[in-house]
Amino acid sequence: MRKILFFLTFALMVIATWMTLFYAPTEVVMGHVQRIFYFHMGTVWAATVAFTVVFVASIYYLVKETAKWDTLAYCSAEIGMLLLTLTIITGSIWAKPVWGTWWTWDPQLTTTFILWVLYAVYLVLRSGAGGRGKKARYSAIFAIIAYVDLPVVYVSARIKRGISPVVFGPGGGGIDPAMMHTLLVTLLGFTLLFVLLLGERRRIMNMENALYARGGRGG
Amino acid sequence: MRKIFLIFRKDFLVEWRSKQIFPTMFVFSLLLLLIFNVAFEFRSDINFRAVSAVIWITFIFSGLLALGRSFSLEKENNAFAFLLLTPVSRSCIYLGKLLSNVVMVLLSELFILPLFLLFFLLNAKGLSLSLTGEILPFLGVVVLGTIGFVSLGTFFSSMALNTKLRDMMLPLLVFPLIIPVVITSVGICSSILEGKPFGYYAFSLQVLVSFDIIFVLLCSLLFEYLIEDSGD
């Protein structure tokens, strides 16, 4: 199962890279730099999935109080953090030629930045909480509040008008079918990548815990 | 409802008699206003947005200072363990504490506001202050914004106290979460000072009120999980 998932993810990521670079047509206005947009969307999508997993796992932990939900939430938060950092970096690279600036306080960017800070605090809280049970409980509570807070942050940031592109929904510009294919394959690829990484991270975490329980040096 | 009020009365009396938090908060706010004034060097060319930001940063910083105390006081003599022994649900304890914190923070804000007026707004050009036009709406926003940041502040002060980092942890937990309060409160206050009509900031007001409702409810719900019976 692990091997199948690994090869499937690998194949999809290779195809996604190929499609991004060769299959998708060059965007008329923005040119080749627009191609980074596919990976930008891929990472932000997978990060959203990751933080939703954190949220759901945190609720389960508070209700059931079994350590496996806490492990799941923690591993997912770590990977989500990595993906979101990649989102911000790729977005910045895209924004420089298109908007003429590396960063601007547009609602989507503000929300993304606050999301990043919230999960940075989540990881700090885990390292500074103290005992195991307390760490798990406190971080679960914080994760739930943070996830509920985020839409409110977005709405309040919207009070100022934004410039991030709205691709879908009302006001969206529509999209070329070939671009759509590329986007879908990339999204699927990153979803699988997230699942793969999550599984691996949990395996490592469980090994660490097992070693720690056996009285190894542990960290 | 009566239980909430009893907890509120207890906390308020403790503060009223000991007078620990209140003077500290007041002097701290005063110093913040002084620092802002020296740093910005406002003369008559006052930017209402910046002035609103000054007052809210002052409120939030001094407010969190007071909230840090609200649970550490309970830690002395293990008072909180006894509070948990009383036949009162956890959410009632939270709501009682929230109420007493809101009242205390609001009281000190009430003392700060005239000084704020004196230091920052007295020389402002194009500012007309009338009771119903500016002052009452301004105070209303102060109350709503205070409820917003105190709701999360009260909740997380009890969490922060039990972590290894203690007081260091509180601003870290609260600041990113109260961004909507900062955006909306500062926005509405500057709109009011600029004399904008109600329709101009009605949406911000909706967001602020929703924030208050969502987080007072969520925090009182989650408070049950925050406090463990073992008292660790």
B179 touches chain A (CB under 8 A): yes
The string of pLDDT tens digits covering residues A135-161 is 888 999 999 999 999 888 888 887 765
Answer whether A142 sits within 8 Å of B232, measured CB to CB.
Answer: no
In a domain, B173, yes or no: yes
CA distances from B174 to A64, B153, B225 (A): 27, 6, 18
Q: Lowest mean pLDDT: which of A95-109, A152-166, B32-46? A: A152-166
CA distance B116 to B122: 9
In a domain, B232, yes or no: no
In a domain, B231, yes or no: no
Question: Is B197 strand, coil or helix?
Answer: coil
Which domain does B68 fall in, by range? 2-226
Answer whether B159 sits within 8 Å of A138, measured CB to CB.
Answer: yes
CA distance B93 to B8: 9
What mean pLDDT, rounded, does chain B reach?
84
Contacts B155 to A, Cβ<8 Å: 145
Q: Which residue has the higher pLDDT, A144 or A102?
A: A144
In a domain, B63, yes or no: yes
Total structural domains within chain B: 1
Instruction: Give the closest residue to B10 by CA, choosing from B92, B65, B66, B68.
Output: B92
Question: Is B47 strand, coil or helix?
Answer: coil
In chain A, the residue whose alpha carbon lies closest to the alpha carbon of B202 is: A159
Contacts B169 to A, Cβ<8 Å: 125, 128
Contacts B203 to A, Cβ<8 Å: 159
**What local confidence, expressed as pLDDT, does residue B232 receive?**
43
CB A153 within 8 A of CB B179: yes
Check whether B93 has a pLDDT greater than 90. Answer: no
Q: What confidence tier does A51 reach under pLDDT thresholds 50, 70, 90?
A: very high
In a domain, B193, yes or no: yes
In a domain, B140, yes or no: yes
- What is the number of CB-based contacts under 8 A between chain A and chain B? 85
Average pLDDT of the residues in A106-118: 88
ipTM score above 0.90: no
Give the HSE-up count for residue A110: Cα atoms under 13 Å, Cβ half-sphere.
21
**What local confidence, expressed as pLDDT, does residue B231 receive?**
45
Distance from CA of A130 to the nearest CA of B (A): 6
Distance from CA of B124 to the nearest CA of A (A): 26
Check whether A132 has a pLDDT greater than 80. Answer: no
Q: Could you tell me the two tokens for A36?
A: 């980074």
Say which of B155, B184, B228 has its CB closest to residue A156: B184
In chain B, the residue whose alpha carbon lies closest to the alpha carbon of A128 is: B164
Residues within 8 A of A (CB atoms), B 155-174 only? 155, 159, 162-165, 169, 172-173
For tokens 């790729």, name the residue: A90
Check whether B85 has a pLDDT greater than 60. Answer: yes
The string of pLDDT tens digits covering residues A4-47 is 888 888 888 888 888 888 887 777 777 777 788 888 888 889 99
**What local confidence, expressed as pLDDT, does residue B139 receive?**
92
CA distance B99 to B5: 8
Highest mean pLDDT among A162-176, A186-200, B13-27: A186-200
Q: Could you tell me the two tokens for A207?
A: 């090994």
Contacts A140 to B, Cβ<8 Å: 225
* Residue A101, C-beta contacts closer than 8 angstroms, at least 6 positions apart: A95
Q: Backbone dihedral region of B163: left (phi > 0), alpha (psi from -120 to 50 degrees) or beta?
A: beta
Q: Could you tell me the two tokens for A63?
A: 């209700």
CA distance A142 to A117: 13
CA distance A20 to A12: 12
Answer whether A159 sits within 8 Å of B203, measured CB to CB.
Answer: yes
Residues within 8 A of B (CB atoms), A 60-119 only? 62, 114, 117-118
**What local confidence, expressed as pLDDT, does residue B125 receive?**
67
Check whether A162 has a pLDDT greater than 70. Answer: no
CA distance A27 to A176: 9
Question: Is A31 strand, coil or helix?
Answer: strand
Check whether A168 has a pLDDT greater than 60. Answer: no
Check whether B48 has a pLDDT greater than 80. Answer: yes
CA distance B143 to B106: 7
